[in-house]
Chains A and B, each alone.
Chain A
Amino acid sequence: MNSYRVILASTALVAALIAPLVTGQYWMSLITQVYIYGLLALSVDLLLGHAGLYSLCQASFFAVAAYTTAILQVRYGYPTIVSAPAGLVAGTLLAGLYGCAVRTRGVYFILITIALGYIIWGAFYRWASFTGGDNGITNVPPPTVLGVSIVSQTAYYYFVLGVVLLCALGYRILVRSPFGLSLRGIKGSESRMQSLGYRTTMHLYVAFIISGAIASLAGVLYVYYNRFINPVAASFQISVEVSLMAIVGGSGTIVGPFIGAGIFLGVRNWVSSFFEMHTAVMGIVFIATVLWAPGGIVGFIERWRTGGRKVKGQP
């Protein structure tokens, strides 16, 4: 890590720490959202940027974790200390089940994860007697950890920031480990990794489950932030949007997905405040990203800094 990055990272950290003091409710709420969606985008990018798999069912793990937590807490009255871990476990178990998709590659993997994602959406939407259908689960109480209830928005902001930082640290260790290296090896050339004796499908399966666990964590953070959950959280649109965040920011990096989430949510909130057709604008953002900035913002800056010699993390 060179000095340039240290300065950048510490500036970002200081900015994140003082943000609640200098901005209002609106911005704090938006930034909390950026952290949560950024975490979800990071889970997409573990597969996309490192393993070369494009999963479009991340919203399923996110929503299953959120729904499990919400249902346990609201309907059965379990405390946060039980329902939040239960949500994490439920989302991760689903990832273990859906992990069978890693038997396929390329376009088949994409199509299958889309279809798998729709199962969860359909279940939440149609199984109304248990999930509340279109209305979802409302009145999720604020989280209570060790007898302390995190009621204020500022406190929750710092809580999410802490969790996200810990996650990013763990993610950094993971992608720099031999396991992370073998994932990038598979992305580069799976047949070569196989001939070196790696069980590539097993590696991808484990990566899929870790990715599902990160998405589940984002889901638990989301349900306590939003205080309600409905089937939209499991929708295909969410899965596509978070993958776009990862690409806009810069695939294959840690800050990229968070930058992407910031840009995406920022643009959407800004555009929807004055222009009715914001879905079309988001669609144009999709098209523009694919055509002109496939390496994302981080790739763009890298290219600029290195004088166009290398482009990092092209999807």
Chain B
Amino acid sequence: MHSSILQAINGISFAALLFLLASGFTITFGLMRVVNMAHGAYYLVGGYIGLTITRYTGSFALGVLGGGLAVIPLGYLIDRFLVSRTGENHLAQVLLTVGIAFVLGDVALHIWGGDNLKVPTPIELRGAIELPGGIIYPTYRFVLILFGIVVGLSLWLLYRKTQIGAVVRAGVDDREIVSAIGINIDWLFVLVSALASFLAGMAGVVGGAFLTLYPGAEWEILIYALVVVIFGGLGSLEGAMIGALIVGLLDAYGRWLLPEFSYFVLFAPMAILLLFRPRGIFGREG
């Protein structure tokens, strides 16, 4: 009983991290119809830059902010000069962005080396706290859950309750009409893509503090994010939230109960869901 609750908290804290990455991925797809497989590389590069900033300044918060901000120009250049040339050809996008991820991963390997690096966390977040019911849990992962909730809530408010969000939602539904009524859709693309890059880079720093950063981490986390959006439905922010929770919990319980088959525990429900709802829980036709 005790450890099953512990695993649930583990799952939710992993879900918080996955949401940071998957939300950007899903919104970029929804608005721009771009499948950006380099998102995992943004995570890794952001994480490494945040690590370096934290080491030099000693401030974890600056590291998180800097890691996220540093990825924005990178993501902009990639979108503007490379991805935009593929139009809506998803096959070309996948190959192109996988190539970009290879380049970024290899460059990161040469700068930061091949060892597992851990982003240092501030003293206040080290150690453990006691939750109601006598459960001892690492403070950092608990704060991560709160952080995920805050980010998720602000994204949801931004998306559902503000004018920018309304324009973005309109763009997801019908791009041509949005530009026809005089809204600068290119500017909107830049904004959304910058937000997605920022979230991915920030996720790298936050995740690097407990999962560590190493070459290949970009693909591992990207696959989890893909499963999140497959569960939730591409292009849906709510889907990314629900999907992240499902994936986080399945992963935590899978690792705990069936360590050798944890991938099956994660992917088999996904395959079954697809048989009945090929577009995920919140996905739409068309």
Partner of A119, one of B86, B102, B267: B267
B285 to chain A, nearest CB (A): 11
Q: What residue in chain B is nearest A122 (Cβ atoms)?
A: B263
Chain A residues near B226 (CB-CB < 8 A): 111, 114-115
Are A111 and B35 interface neighbours, CB within 8 A?
yes
Cβ-based interface call for B55 (8 A): no
User: Is chain B's binding surface mostly helix, strand, loop or mixed?
Assistant: helix
Encode contact with A along B40-64: 1 for CB under 8 Å, 0 otherwise. 0000000000000000000000000
B110 — which chain A residues lie within 8 A by C-beta?
A: 276-277
Given A115-B270, A122-B262, A126-B259, A294-B92 contact (CB < 8 Å)? yes
Which chain A residues border B268 with CB–CB below 8 Å? Answer: 119
- Say yes or no: A110-B102 contact (C-beta < 8 A), given A103-B275, A115-B230, A290-B95: no
Whole-angstrom CA separation of A282 from B98 in the bound complex = 10
In residues 88-112 of chain A, which contact B (Cβ within 8 Å)?
A: 100-101, 103-104, 106-108, 110-112
Residue A291 at the B interface, CB < 8 A? Answer: yes
List the B side residues contacting A174 at CB < 8 Å: none
A101, A106, A286: residue with the most chain B Cβ atoms closer than 10 Å: A286
Q: Is B91 an interface residue (CB 8 A)?
A: yes
Cross-chain contact A108 with B102 (CB below 8 angstroms)? no
Q: A123-B261, A127-B261 are in contact. Are A100 and B274 (CB under 8 A)?
A: yes
A104, B230: Cα distance in complex, Å: 12
Does A225 belong to the interface (CB within 8 Å)?
Answer: no
- Could you say which of A123, A240, A276 contacts B263, with CB atoms under 8 Å apart? A123
Complex-state Cα separation, A101 to B278, whole angstroms: 9
CB neighbours of B95 from chain A (8 A):
240, 243-244, 247, 286, 289-290
CB of A231, distance to nearest CB on chain B (Å) = 11
CB distance from A18 to the nearest CB of B (A): 35
Which residues on the A side are within 8 Å of B158 (C-beta)?
none
B195 is an interface residue with CB less than 8 A from chain A: no
Smallest distance from the beta carbon of A53 to chain B beta carbons, Å? 10
Say yes or no: is A265 at the interface (Cβ < 8 Å to chain B): no
**Interface-central residue, B100, B261, B271, by most chain A CB under 10 Å:** B271
Is the Cβ of A128 less than 8 Å from the Cβ of B82? no
| Chain A facing B: main interface SS | helix
| Pairwise interchain contact A128-B260, C-beta atoms closer than 8 A | yes
Asked if A284 contacts B260 (CB within 8 A), the reply is no
Task: Tell me if A81 is interfacial: C-beta within 8 Å of chain B.
Answer: no
A129 contacts chain B at the CB level, 8 A cutoff: yes
Contacts known (A115-B226, A284-B99, A294-B92); A107 close to B234, Cβ less than 8 A: yes
CB atoms of A280 and B102 under 8 A apart: yes
Known: A115-B227, A119-B263, A286-B102. Is A291-B85 also a contact (CB below 8 A)? Answer: yes
> Which residues of the partner chain A approach B107 to less than 8 Å between Cβ atoms?
277, 280
Number of A residues, CB within 8 Å of B: 45
A267 contacts the other chain (Cβ, under 8 Å)? no
Shortest beta-carbon distance from B201 to chain A in Å: 20
How many pairs of residues, A versus B, come closer than 8 Å at their CB atoms?
124
Q: Are B230 and A111 in contact (CB under 8 A)?
A: yes
Decide: B106 and A283 in contact? CB cutoff 8 A: yes
Give the Cβ gap from A114 to chain B, nearest Cβ, in Å. 6
Residue among B94, B110, B234 having the largest count of chain A Cβ atoms under 10 Å: B94
**Interface size of B as a range:** 35 or more
Q: How far is the CA of A111 from the CA of B105 in the complex (A)?
A: 21
Among A100, A115, A121: residue with most chain B CB under 10 A: A115
Q: B15-33 interface mask toward A, CB cutoff 8 Å, 1 = contact, 0 = none?
A: 0000000000000010000
Q: How far is the CA of A54 from the CA of B90 in the complex (A)?
A: 9
Q: Which residues of B contact A285 (CB under 8 A)?
A: 99
Tell me, yes or no, whether B252 is within 8 Å of chain A by CB. no
Contact check, B98 vs A115: say whether CB atoms are below 8 A apart.
no
Choose from A103, A106, A236, A280 the contact partner of B219 (Cβ within 8 Å): A236
- A118: interface (CB < 8 Å): yes
Q: Is the CB of B278 within 8 A of A126?
A: no
A244 to B96, CA, bound (A): 10
**Interface: A279 (CB within 8 A):** yes
Is residue A165 within 8 Å, beta carbon to beta carbon, of the partner chain? no
Q: Which of A103, A108, A126, A290 interacts with B92 by CB under 8 Å?
A: A290
Q: How far is B263's CA from A210's CA once the two chains are assembled, in angstroms?
A: 26
B275 and A123 form a contact (CB under 8 A): no
Which residues from chain A contact B262 at a C-beta distance below 8 Å? 122, 126
**B171-187 residues at the A interface, CB under 8 angstroms:** none
Q: Report which A residues bind B (CB closer than 8 A).
A: 48, 54, 56, 100-101, 103-104, 106-108, 110-112, 114-116, 118-119, 121-123, 126-129, 236, 240, 243-244, 247, 276-277, 279-280, 282-287, 289-291, 294, 315
| 9 A-B pairs whose Cβ atoms sit less than 8 Å apart in the complex | A110-B35, A110-B94, A119-B263, A119-B267, A236-B219, A280-B106, A283-B99, A284-B99, A287-B96
7 new A-B contacts, CB < 8 A, other than A48-B91, A104-B274, A284-B103, are A107-B234, A115-B226, A119-B268, A122-B263, A244-B95, A247-B95, A291-B82
Q: A-contacting residues of B (Cβ < 8 Å)?
A: 29, 35, 82, 85-86, 89-92, 94-96, 98-103, 105-107, 109-110, 219, 223, 226-227, 229-230, 234, 259-264, 267-268, 270-271, 274-275, 278-279
